[in-house]
A and B are shown apart, each in its own frame.
Chain A
Amino acid sequence: MSNKYLLGVFHDEHDMIHAAKALKKSKIVIHDIYTPFPVHGLDQYLDIKPTRLPVVTLVAGTTGLVLALLFQYWVSVIDWPINVGGKPFNSFAAFIPVAFEITVLFGAFITVFAFLMRSKLAPVFSSGIMHSGATQDKFVIALAVKDASFDTQNTSKTLADLGASEVSIREVK
């Protein structure tokens, strides 16, 4: 699989949405769209698999919950039982606030780190920026140039017709 992409750069958000709609209609698969800010309603034109991030959050949160409950049980029942106002050592109600906090802490942190890892956003990764304009004020539609059967010339023309101010090819490592 090659890493060549055909980029269509748009000045205007609405032109870009219109172009994405038209591309979808003519059965051209869009690799991804890069925008400087979140644009609503783009998902339907991109055939991207749904994110698995919620699963990470669920697993992380559950881990936090179980660990917090086990730790509190170990502390207050096994290792150092203290009689507080005659309440049982294993007082589930008293464990809930801490368990809740640890659940949120695990869930939030691990989700953020998993997101940074997967989208290669940490300083240790070198992420190929498709088009520097997409980090400022341009909207970039990227189409994967898979093989020789991809009609680069015609597709470039289509993009330009749809309002792309610049059409270029970019290779990413």
Chain B
Amino acid sequence: MTIYKNNCQLNKILILMMGLGMVGIAGAFYLLPIKVWINILTANFMFLSIGLFGLFMLAITNIVGASFVTPYRKVLEALAGTVPYLGLSMLVILLGSHSLYEWTHVDVVLKDKILMEKAAYLNLPFFSIRMIICIGLWSLMSFVLVRKFREQEKFPERAERIQESLGGISAAFLIVFAVTYCMASFDWIMSLEPHWFSTIFGVFTFSGLVVSGLAALILILIYLQGLGHLKGLNLNHYHDLGKLLLGFTTFWAYIWFSQYLLIWYANIPEEGEYYVLREHFGWSWLFWINIVLNWVVPFFVLLPRWTKRNKTVLQRICLIILLGQWLNLYVMIAPKVMEHHGVMDPTITWIELFITLGYVGLFLFIFFKRLSQSSLVATNSPFLEEGLALEQ
């Protein structure tokens, strides 16, 4: 089966999940309104990042001429295709900016010398402009890449030339992406604590992007193969993705520790407050579970060769990693926002579960819609044959 047909039963489940998300949002507005914005920011950022992973992976494999992704390139294209939609839904947080961002309150800024100096950058109009520019550039790239690939599928005689032209576009995009993704994570997440700063923050969120993107990709591939699609994929493809996953979970831990160690060692109050808040005041259990889920478990599970070649093990570990990456973002976002509002609620409740499920539904709904729009085989790609014959 080279074409993915939209599955009505699955769509019903996904719409039900979105409904649960709405229930979660309504419930949170009633119980603890700040949780609405915390959860929307966490979940939307996470799924936008997974979409961006598709874009990033396509761009980098275009540049280096990698063939190992070509058998499932269409899945990456569909992931990249979700970027404009999740980017659009990201704009919702502008409505909650007063609840999330302390620096949007003029009276607070006027009383605060540090915030006064940062006001030239941290103000709502400029913040919105940056947000629209970031999302606009990513969406543009998503459209351009997908269009070029469609062109390649239609015109075999131009396939090679299109592949070559993609190299330049991809290289330009990667430079833009590095700056914009870093800026986006500074704006959307780091500025939740406007006094605090960490120069490695962009790299840290990027490592999360790759890890969660890989985990989501593996899960989707296993699901699609279970339905009888993507017949050309074999265990060697999974093995490669598993190796990347092992490498990047370790990269994530490395960056996590790089940020932690320097701040802990320098012991400057302005920087240290970030970890003081998270290691005490009830957040510590989530703070440490984060590392167990994102590094300790995946590292030891993915170390042997056979686990990376076993779909059941991969599926489970990817679920754990996605859970961990969500928690990672939650621990980055929730504690300070709650502190601003005088709440200290370090628990995961049905509200988090429902809103996040809602986003899972939204993301997968868009993803499968994009996936069903064309064939699942990257026809005419000069790398297809080589990619299908992947050996260890």
The interface stretch among A28-36, A89-97, A149-157, A160-168 is A89-97
Contact partner, B392, options A40, A54, A85, A96, Cβ 8 Å = A40
Interface string of B356-392 (1 = CB under 8 A from A): 0000000000000000000000000000000000011
Q: What are 13 pairs between A and B in contact, CB < 8 Å?
A: A40-B391, A41-B391, A41-B392, A43-B392, A54-B304, A85-B267, A93-B260, A93-B261, A94-B261, A94-B265, A96-B257, A96-B261, A97-B261
- B260's closest neighbor in chain A, by CB? A93
CB distance from B389 to the nearest CB of A (A): 10
Q: Chain A contacts of B288 at CB under 8 A?
A: none
- Complex: A96 Cα to B291 Cα, angstroms: 15
Given contacts A93-B260, A96-B261, 13 further A-B contacts (CB under 8 A): A40-B391, A40-B392, A41-B391, A41-B392, A85-B267, A86-B267, A87-B267, A93-B261, A93-B264, A93-B265, A94-B261, A96-B257, A97-B261
Q: Chain A contacts of B265 at CB under 8 A?
A: 93-94
Q: Chain B contacts of A41 at CB under 8 A?
A: 391-392
Interface string of A90-124 (1 = CB under 8 A from B): 00011011000000000000000000000000000
Q: Interface residues of B: mostly helix, strand, loop or mixed? A: helix
- A86's closest neighbor in chain B, by CB? B267
- Complex: A137 Cα to B261 Cα, angstroms: 52
Q: What residues make up the interface of A, taking CB atoms closer than 8 Å to B? A: 40-41, 43, 54, 85-87, 93-94, 96-97
Q: What residues make up the interface of B, taking CB atoms closer than 8 Å to A? A: 257, 260-261, 264-265, 267, 304, 391-392
The 6 closest A-B pairs by CB, nearest first: A40-B391, A41-B391, A85-B267, A93-B264, A93-B261, A96-B257
CB distance from B179 to the nearest CB of A (A): 29
- Complex: A43 Cα to B391 Cα, angstroms: 11
CB distance from A69 to the nearest CB of B (A): 15
- Complex: A43 Cα to B260 Cα, angstroms: 44
- Complex: A85 Cα to B391 Cα, angstroms: 54
Q: Chain A contacts of B267 at CB under 8 A?
A: 85-87
Q: Chain B contacts of A40 at CB under 8 A?
A: 391-392
- Complex: A97 Cα to B264 Cα, angstroms: 14
CB distance from A86 to the nearest CB of B (A): 8
- Complex: A85 Cα to B263 Cα, angstroms: 13
Q: Chain A contacts of B391 at CB under 8 A?
A: 40-41
- A41's closest neighbor in chain B, by CB? B391
- B306's closest neighbor in chain A, by CB? A50
- Complex: A153 Cα to B304 Cα, angstroms: 43
Q: Chain A contacts of B304 at CB under 8 A?
A: 54
- B257's closest neighbor in chain A, by CB? A96
- Complex: A103 Cα to B156 Cα, angstroms: 52
CB distance from B141 to the nearest CB of A (A): 34
- B265's closest neighbor in chain A, by CB? A94
- Complex: A140 Cα to B391 Cα, angstroms: 21
- Complex: A54 Cα to B303 Cα, angstroms: 10
